[in-house]
Amino acid sequence: MKIVIQRVSEASVTINHDKVAEIKNGLLVLLGIVEDDNQEDINYLVRKTANLRIFNDENGVMNKSLIDITGEVIVVSQFTLYAATKKGNRPSYIKAAKPDIAIPLYECFVQTLEKEIDNKVQTGQFGADMKVALVNDGPVTIIIDSKAKE
């Protein structure tokens, strides 16, 4: 499981001209899932997402977490995080989990994150053609792969 975390001052997701998610200060999380991901991967990434100290304190130092600032979150499924680009110019997505595996893991990630931060997590819609808009604050963008733990 892989996530791209972006610290945002605002973000939104629109599907068919309808805004389905919108936040101010918080995180936009893009989530990619592979077939062998499980609850351990979810727990690891949820803890990282909630506790990364990437928000500024009163001295302008990145020393506060999402929990500390009571920030908002949008989670968007993003199978393209597992694009294979070694051969040719057309990415292959064969590593990405199929919907029957990915959807339950995606939903579990969202539910686990909601419990961890004690806050509602907004989402896009799995498999939909989404328009994601954001103002990356910093910019701060962090990529975490649950299979590459230190």
Q: CA 16: distance to chain centroid? A: 21
Mark out the alpha helices in 38-98 (DSSP H runs).
39-51, 66-69
**Which residue numbers are catalytic?**
80
- Strand-pairing partners, residue 133, are 12
How would DSSP label each residue in 83-125? -B-SSSSS-B-TTBPPHHHHHHHHHHHHHHHHHHHTS--EE--
State residue 45 phi and psi, 5-degree precision.
-70, -35
Distance CA 54, CA 63 (A): 6
